[in-house]
Structures are given as structure tokens and as C-alpha cells.
Amino acid sequence: MTRNFFVGGNWKMNGSKATIDTITDGLNATKVPEGVEVVCGAPDVYLTYAQSKITNASVHVAAQNCYKEAKGAFTGETSADFLKDLGVNWVILGHSERRHVFGESDELIGEKCKKALETGLNIIPCIGEQLEEREAGKTEEVVFNQMKFIKENVSDWSKVVIAYEPVWAIGTGKVATPEQAQDIHQKLREWLKTEVSQEVADSVRILYGGSVNGKNCKELAGKPDIDGFLVGGASLKPEFSDIIRARE
Ligand SMILES: O=C[C@H](O)COP(=O)(O)O
């Protein structure tokens, strides 16, 4: 089964109109290989601005989070319905910074996945172990448990792209080795086969995230169960174009 290569950028809480102009100029000038999907997670306040600047038909805009309710007294939150209304069809959910800086639980992330899918969005749910958990030999236990809460809330797997991001590799410059990443990706695919179906295990894209850059992307992209990346820091830089073309 061929899974189209997928490159997500996560700008996190970075940017300004001026820097978005530079980033989107780069994206618009990038020849995205056929079949490759590119989605960039912009801060909410810049979603419409980023959309207005992207002319490359292969590049789409994502939100970095949304809430589990459609509307109401939830000051400061963004609903999946708002995103849909703006024509934003992708949302990153359960990023490690949402989990560990803002204390989002597996339950809440599951509810957000459910609501976003019901609203018609495509979702990029994120999972990944912390350093102590890896060192304690608990990586599989942690990521399978995170997957359980996602699975219980997924109605349509064709709208899901999973991002495996070991927390110790995020923003640290300490990338997982291609073997470490492949090992967990392959185990996640096995888990999907057992817990969901062979078809879903074969078709769902599993991205790697954590210190991906223009130099290390090719070797990671060569691994059979790595279907793309979720890129933080390097998605703000010109090297993001090299990552988009990592399989060439
Ligand atoms: O969502 C992206 C990840 O947090 C990776 O960030 P990074 O590429 O800066 O390590």
C-alpha cells in the first residue's frame, strides 16, 4: 500500500505578518513533489493571513489546537466550527506542549479529536514519550495508552494522520535515530492492526517529529514506516523546502 508522503510544519507561537510573508514566499516557490501533502500549522490569529499568502495548491494551513465544544462561554478558545468556517481543514491536536505545558489530558485530547472529526476537519493527533519514560522502558506503554484515547474517538481514519514525537527530541536538537523512530512507528502500525484493522494499519500515515531538519530528513524518510514529518523549528526556515523534498 502506498501512503502519500506528508510534511507538516508547526510554527508554534512564532511569527508576524512579515515573517509569514517570508515563509510563504518560500513555500510558494517550492516545487512540491507529486503526491506529497504539505500542511502548515499557523497561530490562530494568523490563519487567515497565512491562507491569503499561500498560492501553492499543494500547501494547506492547519490550526495548532481547537476546543471540544462548538461555541459558548469558553473565553479564549477556538472551536472546530470556527476553523471550518475559515476554510481551515486541518488541526494539530494533543501536541506535547498542549499536554505538558497546558496540562491537557488524554481524555480531553480524545474529546477534541472526536469533535474535530465530527465537524469535518482532518486531524493530526500527537503522541510521544518523555525522556524518563523512555529510560524506564515505558515508551510503548505510553504511546499505546495515548493511542487508545485517540482510537476511541476516531470515526473516520482516512481523516487522521498520527504524529509520533518523542518529547526528548522536540526542540532539543537531539533527533531520534532513524532506527529508534522506525522501531516505534512499526510498533504503532502493529498496534493499529490489532486494535483497529489491517486496512487502517496499512493506510494511516505516521509522521515523525522532533528536531527534524534539512540534513537528517532524508535518512528518516527512507524508513518504511515513516510517512513524513511534523516539523517545528525548521518549518520557519528555508530548509523546510528540503524537508518537503526529502523523498526525492
Ligand atoms: O510539532 C513539532 C515538534 O514539536 C517538533 O519541533 P522541533 O522540530 O522544533 O523539534
CA of residue 123 to ligand 1 center, whole Å: 17
Cβ–ligand 1 distance for 8 under 6 Å, the answer no
The yes/no answer to whether this complex scores an ipTM above 0.95 is: yes
**Would you give the distance in Å from CA 84 to the centre of its chain?**
18
Look up 165 and say whether it is catalytic: yes
Is 94 touching ligand 1 by the criterion CB < 6 Å?
no
Q: Does residue 89 register a pLDDT over 90?
A: yes
Verify whether ligand 1 is closer than 6 Å to residue 235 (CB atom). Answer: no
User: Is 80 a pocket residue for ligand 1 (Cβ < 6 Å)?
Assistant: no
Q: Which has the higher per-residue pLDDT, 51 or 2?
A: 51
Contact, 8 vs 124, CB < 8 A?
yes
Average pLDDT over residues 134-158: 97
- The answer to whether 172 and 209 are in contact (CB under 8 A) is no
∠ CA(126), CA(128), CA(133), 5° rounding?
160
pLDDT at 2: 85
Work out which ligand 1 atom sits closest to the CA atom of 212. 8
- Read off the pLDDT of residues 21-51 as tens digits, 9 standing for 90 and up: 999 999 999 999 999 999 999 999 999 999 9
Per-residue pLDDT averaged across 140-148, rounded?
A: 98
Residue type for position 232: G
Query: Which atom of ligand 1 sits closest to the CA of residue 126?
Result: 1
| Cβ-contact 91, 83 below 8 angstroms | yes
Contact status, residue 106 vs residue 117, Cβ threshold 8 Å: no
120 Cα to the center of ligand 1, angstroms: 26
2 Cα–ligand 1 center, Å: 26
pLDDT at 1 over 70: no
Query: Which protein residue's CA is at the shortest distance from atom 6 of ligand 1?
Result: 232
129, 133, 165, 239: the catalytic one is 165
What domains can be seen in the chain, in order of their start residue? 7-13+58-238 (3.20.20.70)
> What mean pLDDT do residues 188-217 have?
98
Sign of CA dihedral 57, 63, 64, 68: negative
Residue among 95, 97, 129, 133 flagged as catalytic: 95
CA-173 nearest atom, ligand 1: 10
The preferred substitution site among 10, 96, 168, 175 for testing ligand 1, maximizing ligand atoms within 8 Å of CB, is 10
* Cβ-based burial of 208 (10 A; exposed 0-12, middle 13-18, buried ≥19): buried
Q: Quote the CA–CA distance of 216 and 44 in Å, as a whole number.
A: 30
128 pocket-lining for ligand 1 (C-beta < 6 Å): no
pLDDT for residue 101 is more than 90 = yes
pLDDT at 176 over 80: yes
Atom of ligand 1 nearest to the CA of 96: 4
